[in-house]
Amino acid sequence: MGRVVGMPVRKRAPGGGRKPMGPYQGKGSMLTTRIMPETRAALEDGAVEKGVSLSQYVEWILCQHFGLKTGIELKYERLRAERAPVVVAGDEEVAG
């Protein structure tokens, strides 16, 4: 269906885009910066190599630089903690 001439272009409401899913839920802060085209190309190539979005790749690089854990690392830590057996007494194990 084509656009009617003279009608204003409909814009999304703030926050109307696709929400982050999986280990990337909860991302709400935005960072806007200007970078050289060569830098962007290198970042895009790196994202393709890792099989992630440009946003996820940039966040991963920043986390590596500052020694922070990424969303995926935090998710898997929580999963490991939930599944880890807890020793109650002697050889008796109870799932945690």
DSSP 15-75: T-SPPP-GGGTT----------HHHHHHHHHHHHHHTS-HHHHHHHHHHHHHTPPPHHHHH
Asked whether residue 12 is domain-assigned, the answer is: no
pLDDT for residue 46 is more than 90? yes
The pLDDT score that the predictor gives to residue 13 is: 72
Asked whether residue 67 is domain-assigned, the answer is: yes
Q: What percent of the chain has pLDDT over 70?
A: 66
Asked whether residue 20 is domain-assigned, the answer is: no
Asked whether residue 21 is domain-assigned, the answer is: no
pLDDT for residue 62 is more than 60? yes
- Tens of pLDDT, residues 64-82: 899 888 777 777 787 888 8
Q: Can you give the residue range of the structural domain that contains 49?
A: 41-84
Asked whether residue 57 is domain-assigned, the answer is: yes
Q: How many domains in the chain?
A: 1
Asked whether residue 70 is domain-assigned, the answer is: yes
Specify the 3-state DSSP secondary structure of 4: coil
- Tens of pLDDT, residues 11-36: 777 666 666 655 566 677 888 999 99
Residue with the bigger pLDDT between 85 and 47: it is 47
Calculate helix-pair angle for 37-50, 54-66, nearest 10 degrees. Answer: 90
Asked whether residue 58 is domain-assigned, the answer is: yes
Residue located via tokens 């009608």: 7
